[in-house]
């Protein structure tokens, strides 16, 4: 796009410096480009007219055509209001305004025919509208759009500066008159033809002032496709360039791995695990740096896949490290893998915040000398003093809990060759989100559970059923099983009507006076938490009362029941993670979702989903639709999600089509040098180097 779209908004007719500063501060609108891409979030259908006699409380915003049959100003000062009546053949509609009365006195004309637009209510049995919009019938222009755009604004702009949706609509209308001739096409002729896309200028005109619902849909599709296409193009080019420019160590020798697989591993791998290991080995052999995301549901066996990857590195003279977000999880990985490492004669170390100074010195020395082949730890791995002789593989578990800076600091531990990178997550990521957030990574999925694992039975119970739930817990404990009871809060809240852990612990203690009970929450010191966790792991306690601190990191195969109190308080992904704490042994496991009867529509959807399915990817898709991508991934992942019009929860098909289009173009013309790709190349070149979303007008 030309420099025209970088023009400051203050130069647009009717805006001025003061209003432009407010628009920048309140809405982030600074330039013509920002305003023209401030797309409406909904449209009012101005095509249908209602008769006054048909108006009632349950109707949305509607419009009526009638003659103004009188008006009067009632009261004085702050209580001053204007009341008017508009009538059609079927009856009379009362209109009332409490603001802007002096202005209305000047412009409202008796006996004039008006179109009245607003929300009808019934007052003393008669229809009324408060603060309706009025438009003289004679002002109606031929060819005018009757799908009226509605724009997001702010309370401050509306209430104090009279910049409402209609003000923005007028500004956009004025801008389009001078901007459309400046709009240049940003997609190739082949893309426009193959996907039946509107041209860019028409799409911008129709998204703001659609002439028909059909043209509005075409404009939406064009702009969404373009936005997602450029995001995918950027990610795929980064991925291709990384493979060309970043060399990786070659790990082709695997004698220890073969010995482990044939003689030591106590179980068979699933088909999905074998497939992922093959994908990783292929990466290790091609001489390019691996950058792979491993997705797998709770209990699917990601850790053993990680250990096998670490064995490949060790077989080729390289060191590896596995970083976990919590000390509990790091210790769990260490204890589980040390059994195998000892049998193979491999030196596996552990480094966390609580590792003693004397142990650290030995560990640091062994890492520098290369006599320690594998290291498991927490953020402590990132310390400058931690230096490797030849770090060849870095693995991050629950990688979304680490920031970008932390991840890159770990990769810099080898100054000669960037280590291979494997990032793992037990939080299933919807396909559309994975293609956007991790579009520059290769993705592997473990989509089956180990043999012998039974699906967890999930039920929803109301508080009134608590005695039956307690009896079920007692029956399970009598069978030698253990139970988690999770609460959303540590202490009672004045503002939230949810069960709290402190009161819950007392209730559980009274209900089970003969049982040993652990309590774990986030305010406890690390050593206190570890002590209580250890008691539960050793089966010294039968019930663990906890907050979500146990969401990640506790592996107790003997635990078969997860009770989640005030389950409506939790998001779907969190419920799924908590449920994953059970079902880790051969016994049938259960998840009981406890709630009050008072539930929102979204809460019911979440609970019904949990009861219906154990499939983490299906759950993640529903979670994305309910919560949106920003909430789902957190702000640290939001850079690439800075979307103008596309919706990752709803536009999966467009995402797939745009990615396929980008892949086809890059496979054929990776540098975009061909004449037919000139529009695409010129658009990218016109953007600042820091542009996150390549589809933006610059």
Mean pLDDT computed over 144-155: 79
Q: Under CATH, domain 255-446 is a member of which superfamily?
A: P-loop containing nucleotide triphosphate hydrolases (3.40.50.300)
Strands 348-351 and 374-377: parallel
pLDDT category at 223 given cuts 50, 70, 90 is very high
CATH of 48-145, one of 2.40.10.220, 2.40.50.140, 2.60.40.10, 3.30.450.20: 2.40.50.140
SS3 content of the chain, % helix, strand, coil (to 5): 45, 20, 35
Check if the beta carbon of residue 86 is closer than 8 Å to that of residue 93.
yes
**Which residues does 173 contact at the CB level (< 8 Å), separation at least 6?**
208, 209
What's CA 140's distance to the chain center, in Å? Answer: 43
Return the higher-pLDDT residue of 650 and 23: 23
Q: For the purposes of burial, counting CB atoms within 10 Å of the CB of 5, is it exposed (0-12), middle (13-18) or buried (19 or more)?
A: buried
Backbone angles phi, psi at 674, to 5 degrees: -70, 145
Task: Decide yes or no: CATH 3.40.50.300 for domain 457-613.
Answer: yes
Residues 557 and 537: their CA atoms lie apart, in Å, by 9
Mean pLDDT computed over 208-229: 95
Check if the beta carbon of residue 374 is closer than 8 Å to that of residue 310.
yes
Strands 319-323 and 374-377: parallel
Domain ranges of the chain: 1-46+155-182, 48-145, 184-245+656-698, 255-446, 457-613
Question: In this model, does residue 403 exceed pLDDT 90?
Answer: no
pLDDT category at 585 given cuts 50, 70, 90 is confident
Predicted local distance difference test score (pLDDT) of residue 567: 94
Predicted local distance difference test score (pLDDT) of residue 297: 79
pLDDT, tens only, 629-648: 554 444 334 444 578 998 87
pLDDT, tens only, 347-385: 999 999 888 999 999 999 999 999 999 999 998 999 999
Roughly what angle, to the nearest 10 degrees, separates helices 526-537 and 327-344? 60
Question: In this model, does residue 582 exceed pLDDT 80?
Answer: yes
Mean pLDDT computed over 451-471: 91
pLDDT category at 109 given cuts 50, 70, 90 is confident
Question: What global pTM score does this model have?
Answer: 0.70
DSSP letters spanning 214-251 = HHHHHHHHHHHHHHHHHHHHHHHHHHHHHHHH-B----
Q: Please state the three-class secondary structure of 503-558 as a single string.
A: HHHHHHHHHCCCCCEEEECCCCCHHHHHHHHHHHHCCCCCEEEECHHHCCCCCCCC
Predicted local distance difference test score (pLDDT) of residue 633: 44
Check if the beta carbon of residue 200 is closer than 8 Å to that of residue 692.
no
Mean pLDDT computed over 390-412: 77
Predicted local distance difference test score (pLDDT) of residue 58: 83
pLDDT, tens only, 525-566: 877 887 888 899 899 999 999 987 775 556 788 999 999 999
Question: In this model, does residue 650 exceed pLDDT 90?
Answer: no
pLDDT, tens only, 293-335: 898 877 788 999 999 999 999 999 999 999 998 887 888 899 8
Q: For the purposes of burial, counting CB atoms within 10 Å of the CB of 553, is it exposed (0-12), middle (13-18) or buried (19 or more)?
A: buried
pLDDT, tens only, 128-140: 999 898 888 765 5
Residues 563 and 485: their CA atoms lie apart, in Å, by 5
Structure tokens at 178: 């001078």
Strands 126-130 and 120-123: antiparallel
Mean pLDDT computed over 581-607: 90
Check if the beta carbon of residue 546 is closer than 8 Å to that of residue 504.
no
Domains 48-145 and 457-613 share a fold: no
Task: Return the closest-CA partner of residue 506 out of 545, 536, 464.
Answer: 545
Predicted local distance difference test score (pLDDT) of residue 552: 55
pLDDT category at 510 given cuts 50, 70, 90 is very high
pLDDT, tens only, 161-180: 778 888 999 999 999 999 99
Predicted local distance difference test score (pLDDT) of residue 496: 45
Mean pLDDT computed over 447-459: 85
């Amino acid at each position: 796009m030309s420099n025209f779209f970088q023009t400051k908004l203050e130069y647009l007719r009717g805006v001025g410096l003061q209003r432009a500063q407010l628009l920048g501060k309140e809405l982030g609108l600074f330039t013509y480009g920002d305003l023209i891409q401030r797309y409406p979030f909904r449209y009012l259908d101005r095509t249908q007219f209602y008769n006054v006699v048909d108006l009632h409380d349950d109707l949305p915003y509607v419009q009526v055509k009638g003659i103004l049959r009188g008006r009067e100003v009632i009261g004085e000062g702050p209580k001053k209001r204007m009341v008017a009546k508009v009538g059609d053949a079927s009856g009379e509609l009362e209109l009332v305004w409490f603001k802007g009365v002096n202005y209305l006195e000047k412009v409202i004309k008796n006996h004039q025919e008006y179109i009245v637009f607003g929300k009808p209510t019934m007052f003393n049995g008669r229809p009324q509208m408060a603060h309706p919009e009025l438009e003289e019938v004679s002002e109606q222009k031929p060819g005018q759009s009757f799908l009226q755009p509605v724009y997001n604004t702010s309370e401050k702009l509306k209430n104090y500066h009279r910049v409402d949706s209609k003000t923005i609509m007028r500004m956009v209308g004025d801008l389009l008159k001078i901007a459309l001739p400046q709009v240049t096409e940003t997609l190739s002729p082949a893309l426009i033809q193959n996907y039946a896309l509107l041209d860019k200028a028409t799409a911008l005109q129709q998204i703001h002032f659609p002439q028909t619902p059909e043209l509005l849909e075409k404009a939406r599709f064009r702009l969404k496709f373009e936005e997602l296409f450029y995001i995918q193009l950027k990610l795929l080019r980064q991925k291709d360039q990384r493979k060309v420019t970043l060399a990786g160590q070659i790990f082709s020798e695997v004698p220890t791995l073969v010995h482990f697989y044939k003689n030591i591993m106590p179980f068979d791998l699933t088909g999905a695990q074998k497939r992922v290991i093959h994908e990783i080995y292929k990466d290790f052999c091609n001489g390019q740096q691996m950058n792979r995301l491993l997705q797998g549901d709770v209990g699917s066996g990601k850790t053993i896949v990680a250990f096998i990857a670490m064995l490949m590195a060790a077989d080729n003279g390289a060191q590896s490290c596995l970083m976990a977000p919590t000390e509990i999880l790091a210790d769990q990985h260490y204890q589980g893998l040390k059994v195998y490492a000892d049998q193979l004669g491999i030196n596996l170390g552990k480094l966390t915040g609580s590792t003693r100074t004397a142990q650290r010195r030995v560990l640091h020395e062994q890492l520098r000398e290369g006599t320690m082949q594998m290291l498991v730890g927490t953020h402590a791995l990132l310390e400058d003093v931690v230096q490797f002789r030849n770090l060849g593989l870095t693995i991050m578990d629950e990688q979304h809990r680490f920031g970008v800076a932390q991840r890159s600091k770990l990769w810099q531990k080898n100054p000669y060759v960037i280590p291979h990178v494997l990032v793992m997550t037990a939080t299933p990521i919807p396909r559309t989100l994975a293609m956007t957030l991790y579009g520059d990574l290769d993705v592997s999925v473990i989509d089956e559970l180990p043999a012998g694992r039974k699906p967890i039975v999930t039920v929803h119970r109301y508080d009134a059923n608590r005695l039956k739930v307690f009896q079920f817990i007692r029956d399970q404990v009598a069978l030698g099983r253990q139970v988690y009871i999770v609460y959303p809060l540590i202490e009672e809240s004045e503002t939230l009507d949810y069960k709290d852990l402190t009161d819950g612990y007392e209730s559980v203690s009274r209900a089970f006076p003969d049982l040993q009970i652990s309590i774990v929450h986030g305010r406890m010191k690390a050593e206190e938490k570890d002590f209580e966790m250890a008691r539960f792991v050793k089966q010294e306690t039968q019930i663990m009362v906890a907050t979500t601190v146990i969401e990640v990191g506790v592996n107790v195969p003997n635990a078969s029941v997860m009770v989640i109190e005030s389950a409506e308080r939790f998001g779907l992904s969190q419920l799924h993670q908590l449920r994953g704490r059970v079902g880790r042994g051969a016994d049938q496991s259960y998840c009981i979702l406890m709630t009050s009867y008072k539930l929102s529509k979204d809460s019911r959807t979440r609970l019904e989903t949990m009861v219906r399915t154990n499939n983490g990817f299906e759950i993640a898709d529903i979670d994305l639709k309910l919560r949106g991508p920003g909430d789902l991934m957190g702000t640290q992942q939001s850079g690439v999600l800075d979307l103008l019009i596309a919706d990752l929860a709803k536009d999966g098909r467009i995402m797939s089509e745009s990615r396929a289009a980008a892949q086809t173009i890059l496979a054929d013309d990776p540098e975009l040098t061909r004449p037919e790709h000139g529009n695409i190349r010129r658009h990218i070149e016109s953007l600042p180097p820091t542009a996150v979303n390549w589809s933006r007008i610059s």
